Amino acid sequence: MDKVVFLPRLQRERDKFELFINHLGFARQLTMNSLPGRLSVKDLLADILSREQFISDRLGEIIHNESYAPSVTHSALDDFQNKFGYPDYESPLQDREKLNHLVVYKYKNVALDEVIAQESSAYDNIFSALEIIPEKQYLNHDLAHRVAEYTYKPYRRAMLDIKYWLNSISSESK
């Protein structure tokens, strides 16, 4: 997908996600472990933040012509997470879809509004980087697919989980 088509799509997906999160408000329930898997909305946002940080850093490497190689050993995978603070999501050893509990633990004592601010900043970095990456590099690095994997696909998964939780709350109160 060309960058000129992808950027507006990415922003539309982001707008939908922000609108959804804003409708939830900052209620105490957002930090309570009430979602499937004993997770909170904050945990899902921390997971999204880590994915956006991952792709934001990879975009920075592309801009600076630095190379990135996915971790191929478990020790390299652990070293990567220790160095960057998030998993190597493109490693064949890492389950891309699965929420990483080390990320959840990392943000356990961070305020919800701080997680949201960091996540918003990571998204802004992604969008800014995409705007300056030349089309040829954008296509060569398959950035439409890669960025979607770490932005709006996790947004959609999180929104489904949250909607499920909200529906269960509303059915319990009837």
Structural contact between residues 6 and 14, judged by C-beta atoms closer than 8 angstroms: no
One pLDDT digit (tens) per residue for the chain, 174 residues? 999 999 999 999 999 999 998 887 655 556 566 655 678 888 999 999 999 999 999 999 999 999 999 999 999 999 999 999 999 999 999 887 777 788 888 998 999 889 999 999 999 999 999 999 999 999 999 999 999 999 999 999 999 988 887 787 666 655
Q: Which of 8, 5, 9 is nearest to 135 (CA)?
A: 5
Reading the block at residue 158, the tokens are: 């999180």
pLDDT value of residue 164: 84
Q: Which domains does the chain have, with CATH numbers?
A: 3-172 (1.20.120.450)
User: What pTM does this model have?
Assistant: 0.90
pLDDT value of residue 57: 98
pLDDT value of residue 32: 60
Q: Which amino acid is at 50?
A: S
Buried-state track 108-124, b at ≥16 Cβ within 10 A, e below 16: eeeebeebbebbeebbe
Structural contact between residues 154 and 45, judged by C-beta atoms closer than 8 angstroms: no
